[in-house]
Structure 1
């Protein structure tokens, strides 16, 4: 278990950083760009993004980060590296908050958007967009902030772990 401390902490940091980057990119580039589009373009784009994102790369990072953070915490605890362990636990709490937000808010909104049907057949597409966009965008910003916090905690844990390994 002790030998897994560094590789699991590094894997957790990379996976969490990739997720934080994804949510941040949606916050400062994708959604502001889509905000400028018409309703049909917006709904079509989001429906297609929501389909495309469910792939092995996304799922490996999204779910794998939890496993890697948990493994890093166990390995650091076993090693007696309490300072790094504390930051990994903080990262786990933040990452789990992002996971819960995703499952409780963003995924149900994605599902509701998909259930609206093909954009060319939606009667009141402006209403569909209005029911989706404000909440999804706001909660995505929260996901970006908490996952970035988790990433920062893991980066600092790597620094502390590196100092204690000498």
Structure 2
């Protein structure tokens, strides 16, 4: 009786962890998608000084617990879901979780290697009202940041899709 109860509890834990991974990954994918289809196209239409000012403010504002919950939390929950599947779950579900882990890790690496350093350079440029050449600051930032954000949006969405499929497969096998 205890073994059956323990197995049922482990199945519930696997499901809850996978749901958490799906939700946090979806939040991150939605954020990158929002930048790709609304924030950056909207900012493309403002003058250079306004662009630099707005992006500097956004880059400060986004460093908060809610963003970190979805960004880092997704990585933690994907890893936990994978470990729980490895320890008695379904191997097909594990493969989809593994694919999502690779994709989300790619998002993490792109963010750390490209977008954050660009954000840091933008911050180091100084206050927008004191810039002698805001057009040059913008030119060094915008196209590269937008291109790599699109990579993040597509990759995060693919990770979300993999996890959603893993959840669907896990539900069929329960």
Structure 2 residue 49 is matched with structure 1 residue 46: no
Pairwise CA RMSD: 0.8
Q: Distance in 1 between matches of 2:11 and 2:110?
A: 32
Q: Distance in 1 between matches of 2:112 and 2:47?
A: 28
Q: Distance in 2 between matches of 1:40 and 1:72?
A: 45
Aligned to 1:10: 19
Query: Is contact 1:2-1:78 (8 Å) kept?
Result: no
Structure 2 residue 148 is matched with structure 1 residue 139: yes
Aligned to 2:89: 80
Scaled by the length of structure 1, the TM-score of the pair is: 0.97
The structure number with the bigger radius of gyration is: 2
Q: In the TM superposition, what is the alpha-carbon distance from 1:80 to its structure 2 partner?
A: 3.1
Query: Is contact 1:2-1:76 (8 Å) kept?
Result: no
Paired residues, what number?
A: 165
Aligned to 1:69: 78
Aligned to 1:19: 28
Query: Is contact 1:19-1:147 (8 Å) kept?
Result: yes
Aligned to 1:123: 132
Q: In the TM superposition, what is the alpha-carbon distance from 1:4 to its structure 2 partner?
A: 1.9
Q: In the TM superposition, what is the alpha-carbon distance from 1:78 to its structure 2 partner?
A: 1.2
Q: Distance in 1 between matches of 2:90 and 2:139?
A: 49
Deviation per CA, 1:14-69: give whole Å up to 9, x if none: 00000000000000000000000000110010000000000000011110001100
Q: Distance in 2 between matches of 1:13 and 1:5?
A: 12
Q: Distance in 1 between matches of 2:89 and 2:17?
A: 16
Query: Is contact 1:9-1:69 (8 Å) kept?
Result: yes
Query: Is contact 1:105-1:136 (8 Å) kept?
Result: yes
Q: Distance in 2 between matches of 1:80 and 1:149?
A: 22
The DSSP-based 3-state class of the residue aligned with 1:36 is coil
Aligned to 1:95: 104
Q: In the TM superposition, what is the alpha-carbon distance from 1:2 to its structure 2 partner?
A: 4.5
Unaligned runs of 5+ in 1: none
Aligned match for 2:169, one of 155, 160, 163: 160
Aligned match for 1:33, one of 30, 35, 42: 42
